Amino acid sequence: MFDTVGDANLDRAFTAARLNGQVVSIVTQQPVDITPMHVKGLSLHVVFTPIPMLHDLGRARHGAILREAASLVATGKLRPLLDPAQFALEQAGEAHRHLESGAAVGKVVIDVAA
């Protein structure tokens, strides 16, 4: 699971991850209960991406990580988890309520072209 949101979404990533899976987060600025990680044998990787840019530390390593992530995307091994419910732009309020309800699994799509 790849978390780019943080907060309660990190908890959802723990829930959605497979047994012995990995969770990668780029936004972890809040206290988190890691009990679900122990129950499922998960690994958590926290990446604060601005550090290499701000301090010129490990830029090459982070570049390699991003290239590997791009490769995983290209081969379909890393893909977004999308909630089955999708909404038209006129339903943005409904989409937001669906997300806030906790019933959404993955990203909620609002199709602006529909």
Task: Indicate the number of domains in the chain.
Answer: 2
What CATH number corresponds to the domain at position 57? 3.40.50.720
Same domain for 88 and 76, yes or no, is no
pLDDT single digits (tens) 22-69: 998 887 777 888 898 999 999 988 877 677 777 888 788 878 888 998
Residue 59 pLDDT: 80
Same domain for 73 and 87, yes or no, is no
At a CB cut-off of 8 Å and minimum separation 6, what does 4 contact?
25, 26, 27
How far is it, in rounded angstroms, from Cα 77 to Cα 64?
Answer: 17
